[in-house]
Amino acid sequence: MRKTFDAELQELGAEMIDMAAAAEDAIDLVTASLAAPDDRQAREATAMTQNMDQNEREIENRCLRLLLQQQPVARDLRTISAALKMVTDLQRIGDQCANIAEISLLLAREGPVPDHIREMSRKASSMVKRAIFAYANREEGAAHEVIGMDDAVDALFREVKGELVTLIREDRESADRAIDLIIIAKYLERIADHAVNIAQWAIYCVTGSIEPV
Amino acid sequence: MTDMDDLREDRQGSAVLSAQKLNLYYGAAHALKDVDIDIQEKRVTALIGPSGCGKSTFLKTLDRMNDLVPGVRIEGTVSYRGQDIYAPSVDVTWLRRQIGMVFQKPNPFPMSIYDNIAYGPRTHGIRNKSQLDDIVEQSLRGAAIWDEVKDRLKKSALGLSGGQQQRICIARALAVEPDVLLMDEATSALDPISTSKIEDLISDLKSRYTIVIVTHNMQQATRISDQCAFFLLGELIEYGNTTDLFSVPKDKRTEDYITGRFG
């Protein structure tokens, strides 16, 4: 029963996984380009996120059509409404990766990116991957791990901010670079927040309840 | 807030009707199996489940409409405000005055709109014209149809549309001032506009009445009920808050049914 609907839900699941994979690739490219700046990688990240915009529209349209035609309840409603919310987080992750890639190209000429920012990038990357794993496998435990990891990223952001304030104080010439770096750090901190959102929607898929932030 | 409001507030949510270990047999067929349920006051309770699951049979046990079906045997208890309604001392006419029923197909009596509504009160001995006028007006207002029929009260109720006839039947049920309203698929024969009028009406009525509906329309159950009970093969499988039941059903059979994957 409901063969057509089940097929549609499977396609929706596949589209979500494709888009999630693109988000994972984007953050991998960003992490790599922060470690060793590379024009090609930065351009790839930008192109990838343009596709993600298209994916976002397609997934939204499918979800809205399924809500209208199938009037889903219970697990089906959770799957579709979670997809509708998560797709925005995935797309934002893509956007932020593209922005970081762009800035990191300019920065590369002026020396390596501070360790703490690279660490933020690695941590945000593993949060995104773990959150997507939690969603794809409906793993509540993994989702809670992601939520728990966010504090470390926030703490790193505060450290980076402190370091950059010191840098500006000590060397006024570095102010431009420091501002670019703080923007990157802020994007990374936001990416980690999006990973937390995805983890929360993964929990919602399983339990039906929306956890307080 | 007055003391009376306090009292009403306290009573809202307490059990008006309660079934314990309720079993019903049509001859050899076991139609209800060990049903335990509390129907809460001033709430809308929806009974859902596939055809033949026992939901209508259960609804009918609440005002003893099964009594006349040949070969019916009932075990266990159904109590209304603490009183066993199957006790020999219970006057069935009294019971049905407390617990009114509206059926799937509108069934107005072949008489005027006025007489349809006045029928019950007259049976209960009210003869005073102005008192009857008041009851008719209040009941028709209560059923959200007064404005549509106030100028044709002496015309036959059979001349009304299906949706209007159903609201006349609801008004007729309200005229004897019942405590509980039972509705057996009361909108399934109506068009969407009439259906939404009755749904709005049910939401209004629940501030004053305890309402139990049987519906095949899942969206309707989610829209208008506070509590929802899922029946399958005579068993009460799951009973709880409607939003919870339709968001995170506890039993896989409930999930399969409400998501349309039953069978």
Cα angle for residues A78, A81, A86 (degrees, 5° grid): 110
State the pLDDT at residue B12.
52
Residue from the list A5, A6, A77 with its beta carbon closest to the beta carbon of B247: A77
Mutation site for A-interface testing, chosen from B217, B247, B257, B261 by largest number of A Cβ within 10 Å: B247
Question: pLDDT truncated to tens, each residue of chain B (263 aa)?
Answer: 444 444 444 455 589 999 999 999 999 999 999 999 999 999 999 999 999 999 999 999 999 999 888 999 999 999 999 999 999 999 999 999 999 999 989 999 999 999 999 999 999 899 999 999 999 999 999 998 999 999 999 999 999 999 999 999 999 999 999 999 999 999 988 889 889 989 999 999 999 999 999 999 999 999 999 999 999 999 999 999 999 999 999 999 999 999 998 75
Q: Nearest CA of chain A to the CA of B248: how many Å?
A: 5
Q: Which chain B residues are within 8 Å of A6, Cβ to Cβ?
A: 261
State the pLDDT at residue A25.
92
Distance CA B28, CA B22 (A): 16
State the pLDDT at residue B3.
47
State the pLDDT at residue B263.
55
pLDDT in tens, A34-51: 887 777 877 888 888 888
List of residues 6+ apart from A197 with CB closer than 8 A: A85, A86, A89
List C-alpha distances in Å: A99 to A24, A30, A125, A153.
15, 10, 15, 19
List C-alpha distances in Å: A91 to A57, A59, A85, B82.
10, 11, 11, 59
Which region holds residue B213: left if phi is over 0, alpha if psi is between -120 and 50, else beta?
beta
Q: Nearest CA of chain B to the CA of A209: how many Å?
A: 9
Q: Nearest CA of chain B to the CA of A137: how many Å?
A: 18
CB pair distance less than 8 Å for B259 and A76: yes
* Amino acid occupying residue A171: D
Cα angle for residues B173, B177, B182 (degrees, 5° grid): 45
If interface means Cβ-Cβ distance under 8 Å, which residues of chain A face chain B? 1-2, 5-6, 71-78, 207-209
Q: Is the ipTM of this complex over 0.90?
A: no
Mean pLDDT over A105-109 rounds to 77
Q: Which helix (H) or strand (E) holds B180?
A: strand B180-184
Q: Nearest CA of chain A to the CA of B260: how many Å?
A: 7
Q: Which chain B residues are within 8 Å of A208, Cβ to Cβ?
A: 244, 247-248
Helices A115-136 and A175-207: crossing angle in degrees, nearest 10, is: 20
Mutation site for A-interface testing, chosen from B244, B245, B248, B262 by largest number of A Cβ within 10 Å: B248
The reply to whether B252 touches chain A by the CB within 8 Å rule is no
Q: Which chain B residues are within 8 Å of A2, Cβ to Cβ?
A: 259-261
- DSSP state for residue A36 in the 8-state scheme: S
Q: Is the pLDDT of residue A108 over 80?
A: no
Mean pLDDT over A135-149 rounds to 95
CB pair distance less than 8 Å for A73 and B263: no
Token look-up 């343009």 returns: A50
Distance CA B73, CA B71 (A): 6
Dihedral, CA atoms, B170, B172, B176, B177, nearest 10 degrees? 30
Distance CA B43, CA B47 (A): 13
List of residues 6+ apart from B119 with CB closer than 8 A: B109, B111, B172, B175
Q: Which chain B residues are within 8 Å of A209, Cβ to Cβ?
A: 248
Residue from the list A6, A75, A207 with its beta carbon closest to the beta carbon of B255: A75
What is the token pair recorded at A68?
Answer: 């209208």
Query: What share of residues in chain B are helix, strand, coil (percent, to 5)?
Result: 40, 25, 35
State the pLDDT at residue A39.
77
State the pLDDT at residue A46.
80
Q: Nearest CA of chain B to the CA of A68: how many Å?
A: 12
Q: Nearest CA of chain B to the CA of A199: how many Å?
A: 18
- Closest-CA residue in chain A for B259? A73
